[in-house]
Structure 1
Amino acid sequence: MRFIRQTFESFRFAWQALRSNLLRTMLSLLGVTIGIFAIIAVFTLVDSLERNIKTSLSFIGDKVVYIEKWPWVFDGDFQWWKYFQRPVPTYNEYKFLSERLENAQAVVAMSFKGRVTIKRDNNSMSSLIQGTTLDYNKISDVPIEQGRYFTQQEIDVARNIAIIGSDVAENLFPGLDPIGKTFKISGLKFTVIGVQRKKGESIINVGGNPDIKCLIPFGAFSKMFHSINPNITITAKGYDSDEGLLELESEIRGLLRTRRGLHPLQEDNFAINRPEAIAKAISGIFSVLTIAGWVIGGFSILIGGFGIANIMFVSVKERTNIIGIQKSLGAKNYFILFQFLFEAVLLSLVGGLTGIFLVYLLSFMNLGSLDLELTAANIALGLGVSSIIGILSGIIPAFSAARLDPVIAIRAK
């Protein structure tokens, strides 16, 4: 009980010392404030970017592989002419794979056409048109807010129907329920059967922003655009394990090599892409940003720590008389040590809290599609680093104060 009471008294003495030298306190915590602000701002930025990108990648599916002409990530030796000579995947190859793949939950053929003008009466906009087969909603997120998804019969007969994005609905059908209404794509009438939930802005939109997209049956897309651009993407969804996905990749590679008549010594003339490759490439950038934040913030914190240590030595010198009196009245060494240690930690914590508060204010800034969010983990990190800096900066001055001889201390001027 006595130890707790004296610890509380030490804390009170430390708080009074900081309040009595307010200007010095504010100048001392400046370095820690800048350091914590730099570190936590970078961590908050990286976390927000990762969250934004993960949301974007959810629209291209999980445990999914994309069979295409070009790889998404190139090795150091980029022989572009080899990739350029590759054949594009075909609809017949999609049918071949969908009938034979045993490790796939779903196989989909899809194709894209960007910047297509779509119209309804006097309203028009530029849209991304995507033709797809039935199982697209099994490999990618298609959140239907109004209406419904395609049926097998509609896909088989290539009906002129569409699932539109929220921006398309707002621009072509302002104030109206778009379900059952028609609009034109390249002069052909399409009937709206569904509207996707609004996704909002994103830093990256792999596969296109669904808010401005029109999903239509693959057959209807082919009739309009494949005479100009026959390129398609074949997508397959594996079972929910990394082993299952590796088995799927191996199965696709074997079947497609057989289909294209490749000899054992010939290289693949197709690419099997995984969304994880994009995330991996981006995570490298995040690692660099994180290291940069630690380096920049570390220097500021180091300077702040030296500043706090210097102030603590000055405080010990100024209060040597008081320390002597306290010790002559029976104060234990830990009571004196805790006074100065608490003072250093408080000083550092106030600087850390100020830095975290500045990051919090930064999160209210409009950064377009990037929504900054200060997480509890980053707050805890900032407070933890501040506490450690305070302990390291104050431990030596606190020990020197605790070890003072009371007689010599009282006589000090």
Structure 2
Amino acid sequence: MLIIFRQVLESFRFAWQALRSNLLRTTLSLLGVTIGIFAIIAVFTIVDSMQRSIKESLGSLGTNVVYIQKWPFSFTDDYPWWKYFQRPEPKYNEYRLLSERLENAKAVVAMSGRGGVTMKNGNNSVSARLSGVSYDYKEVSDVPIAQGRYFTPQEMEAARNVTLIGWEVADKLFPNQSPIGQTIQIAGLKFSVIGVGEKKGAGFLEIGGNPDLRCIIPYNSFAKLFSSSRPNLTICVKGYESDPGLTNLEGEIKGLLRARRSLRPTQEDSFAINRPEAVVGFISGIFSVLTFAGWIIGGFSMLVGGFGIANIMFVSVKERTNIIGIQKSLGAKNYVILLQFLFEAVLLAVVGGLVGILLVYLLSFMQLGSLDIVLTPGNILLGTLVSVIIGTIFGIIPAALAARMNPVDAIRSK
């Protein structure tokens, strides 16, 4: 064990001398490895951060839920796009039907929304997204309340003018005071504030907009406000955990809606049953392309860096030929010489890789909108492992040449 430790220490000393003796040459040679590792780990880090942020944003859509809408989340090539225009919008009576008849549903929600709605309180005003929802909305979506309470079933059924506002809406309309029990004007009508949501902040891809800039009212109240423009209705259905894949729920929904719309067996569905997973799948495809591009760009850079390391190692073998001969004449085995130079090549590559990882770490302090960049231990390990592999691949040939030298010829060399 002591011998192995001394060999590693000696290899480290040789590698450090190579770094110090030709600092400019070494730096330029390792620049390719640094750029390559930076490109790969930067792409991986940004993609991981985006995926994490998007998953958190999609969490607002709920789990084990399906959305019944006119338009699908993704389009298929075998279905003409113009047929989507002929589909009817979901109706409130269809929501009532599903709410009463579905046996595999834990909750059924009617919801609609409109962005850019002006809300006022005296001289204070704010433009926010207004959402109309039915009572079970809290079952399919996270609605954390910092102050006040949620709607009651009676308020929902009677379409009372009550509202649950986001944190930023409350802050702008009621600075330095509690909004609970106060009234705000929405589209000319007064609504009583019964609750304020917790401060969440906008996600990288927040579905439905910033939750802090949102105002929720009963769906029937929303329908009264915009009855002239016939607001689009989305029906959200939450299934049970005992229904894997929600296949039973989806089949039951299709049966009830097709019967309600009098569709013959040969006719296609005139509605879309959307799942949040479809959005995740689409975005994952984009991320796969970005990751592949990162590997390509980083691969070319590391290839250049690898040849730079090989060049350093060939020069190092040439400069230390006499020392190699002396070591072998004193009994050093071939594998000792091989590992000595191989360790030096790996160390050079790792140094270049660590510099690239350090640059990615510094990148994580940059503000990219609402995206929070986090360099994970997994990506650090990946960058280090790739550096070790590059050092091993491009250092093995010079190390093998050094290990096979004839000690007599090596000592006689100048």
Q: Scaled by the length of structure 1, what TM-score is found?
A: 0.97
Counterpart of 2:323 in structure 1 is: 322
AA aligned opposite 1:291:
F
Cα deviation for residue 198 of structure 1 reads 2.1
Counterpart of 1:410 in structure 2 is: 411
- Once the two structures are superposed, the pairs formed by residues 344-363 of structure 1 within 5 Å of their partners are 344-363=345-364
Q: In the TM superposition, what whole-angstrom CA distance separates every residue of 1:160-207 from its partner, at most 9, and x where no partner exists?
A: 111111110111011112122111111211111111122223332222
2:341–2:395 CA contact under 8 A, matched in 1: yes
Q: In the TM superposition, what whole-angstrom CA distance separates every residue of 1:218-275 from its partner, at most 9, and x where no partner exists?
A: 1211111133224211100112366251211111001110111111001111111111
For structure 1, which segment, 327-336 or 262-271, has the greater mean C-alpha deviation from structure 2 after superposition?
327-336
Cα deviation for residue 72 of structure 1 reads 1.6
Counterpart of 1:190 in structure 2 is: 191
Cα deviation for residue 396 of structure 1 reads 1.2
1:103–1:244 CA contact under 8 A, matched in 2: no
1:10–1:335 CA contact under 8 A, matched in 2: no
2:313–2:345 CA contact under 8 A, matched in 1: yes
- Secondary structure at the aligned position of 1:401 is classed as helix
1:352–1:383 CA contact under 8 A, matched in 2: yes
Counterpart Cα distance in 1 of 2:69 and 2:230? 14
- Secondary structure at the aligned position of 1:79 is classed as coil
Counterpart Cα distance in 2 of 1:265 and 1:217? 38
Counterpart Cα distance in 2 of 1:371 and 1:322? 52
Counterpart of 2:369 in structure 1 is: 368
- Once the two structures are superposed, the pairs formed by residues 61-100 of structure 1 within 5 Å of their partners are 61-77=62-78, 79-100=80-101
Q: In the TM superposition, what whole-angstrom CA distance separates every residue of 1:312-349 from its partner, at most 9, and x where no partner exists?
A: 01110111011111222222223222221111011100
- Secondary structure at the aligned position of 2:66 is classed as strand
Counterpart Cα distance in 2 of 1:136 and 1:230? 18
Q: In the TM superposition, what whole-angstrom CA distance separates every residue of 1:96-142 from its partner, at most 9, and x where no partner exists?
A: 00111111111000111221111000000111111111110111111
Counterpart Cα distance in 2 of 1:179 and 1:32? 59
- Secondary structure at the aligned position of 2:63 is classed as coil
For structure 1, which segment, 151-160 or 90-99, has the greater mean C-alpha deviation from structure 2 after superposition?
151-160
2:202–2:209 CA contact under 8 A, matched in 1: no
Change (3 A) 1:339 1:21: farther
Cα deviation for residue 77 of structure 1 reads 4.5
Aligned residues: 413
Counterpart Cα distance in 2 of 1:20 and 1:241? 68
Counterpart Cα distance in 1 of 2:81 and 2:227? 25
Counterpart of 1:147 in structure 2 is: 148
Q: Does 1:164 pair with 2:165?
A: yes
Counterpart of 2:396 in structure 1 is: 395
- Once the two structures are superposed, the pairs formed by residues 13-412 of structure 1 within 5 Å of their partners are 13-77=14-78, 79-240=80-241, 243-412=244-413
Counterpart Cα distance in 2 of 1:319 and 1:242? 70
Q: In the TM superposition, what whole-angstrom CA distance separates every residue of 1:44-63 from its partner, at most 9, and x where no partner exists?
A: 11111111111110111111
AA aligned opposite 1:143:
P
AA aligned opposite 1:119:
K
Change (3 A) 1:241 1:402: farther
Cα deviation for residue 78 of structure 1 reads 5.4
1:7–1:335 CA contact under 8 A, matched in 2: no
1:238–1:244 CA contact under 8 A, matched in 2: no
Counterpart Cα distance in 1 of 2:179 and 2:30? 59
For structure 1, which segment, 6-15 or 149-158, has the greater mean C-alpha deviation from structure 2 after superposition?
6-15
Counterpart Cα distance in 2 of 1:277 and 1:124? 37
Counterpart Cα distance in 1 of 2:248 and 2:403? 67
Cα deviation for residue 30 of structure 1 reads 0.5
- Secondary structure at the aligned position of 2:265 is classed as coil
Counterpart Cα distance in 2 of 1:81 and 1:406? 81
1:33–1:355 CA contact under 8 A, matched in 2: yes
Q: CA RMSD in A?
A: 1.4
For structure 1, which segment, 2-11 or 292-301, has the greater mean C-alpha deviation from structure 2 after superposition?
2-11
1:166–1:195 CA contact under 8 A, matched in 2: yes
Counterpart Cα distance in 2 of 1:10 and 1:116? 70
- Secondary structure at the aligned position of 2:229 is classed as coil
2:322–2:413 CA contact under 8 A, matched in 1: yes
Q: Scaled by the length of structure 2, what TM-score is found?
A: 0.96
Counterpart Cα distance in 2 of 1:30 and 1:242? 54
For structure 1, which segment, 204-213 or 177-186, has the greater mean C-alpha deviation from structure 2 after superposition?
204-213
- Identity %, equivalent residues: 69
Unaligned stretches of 5+ residues in structure 1? none
2:113–2:130 CA contact under 8 A, matched in 1: yes
For structure 1, which segment, 343-352 or 77-86, has the greater mean C-alpha deviation from structure 2 after superposition?
77-86
Counterpart Cα distance in 1 of 2:327 and 2:68? 78
